[in-house]
Amino acid sequence: MSASRQQVLHVDWTRCDGHGACAELLPTLLALDPWGFPMARGDHVRGDPVVPPGERAQARRAIAACPLLALRLLEVPSRGPVQRAASDAASR
Ligand code: SF4
């Protein structure tokens, strides 16, 4: 991966049923919304949390643990807007 790329954890919303096992395995990247669906806790690209290099092994564990195969890592350009979750922005 080049320095201008980053990895994000993508949720396939056509598969996810919102039981939240992924958020338990990745508490620094994911929180649960009031209905139990995962949402980015920090930096994200269009809602997909940015996975820092130190979290990639745990992200792969969460992908393997998802019972509905709804998670995958995507490589995206690191330039451009990286957004912060509204809950993070509000806490500053
Ligand atoms: S573990 Fe999979 S099915 Fe469960 S909330 Fe996470 S993405 Fe959705």
Q: Along the 92 residues of the chain, how does pLDDT read in single tens digits?
A: 555 899 999 999 999 999 899 999 999 999 999 999 999 999 999 999 999 999 999 999 999 999 999 999 999 998 655 566 554 544 44
Ligand 1 test: best mutation among 11, 32, 35, most atoms within 8 Å of CB? 11
The full DSSP string for 8-49 is EEEE-TTT-----HHHHH-TTTEEE-TTS-EEESSEEETTEE
CB of residue 18 inside a 6 A radius of ligand 1: yes
**In the block, which residue shows the tokens 């992200």?**
59
Domains of the chain: 5-90 (3.30.70.20)
CB of residue 59 inside a 6 A radius of ligand 1: no
> Which atom of ligand 1 is nearest the CA belonging to 69?
2
Position 24 scores a pLDDT of 96
Position 92 scores a pLDDT of 45
pTM: 0.83
Position 3 scores a pLDDT of 59
SS3 category, 55: helix
Nearest Cα residue to 71 out of 56, 84, 81:
56
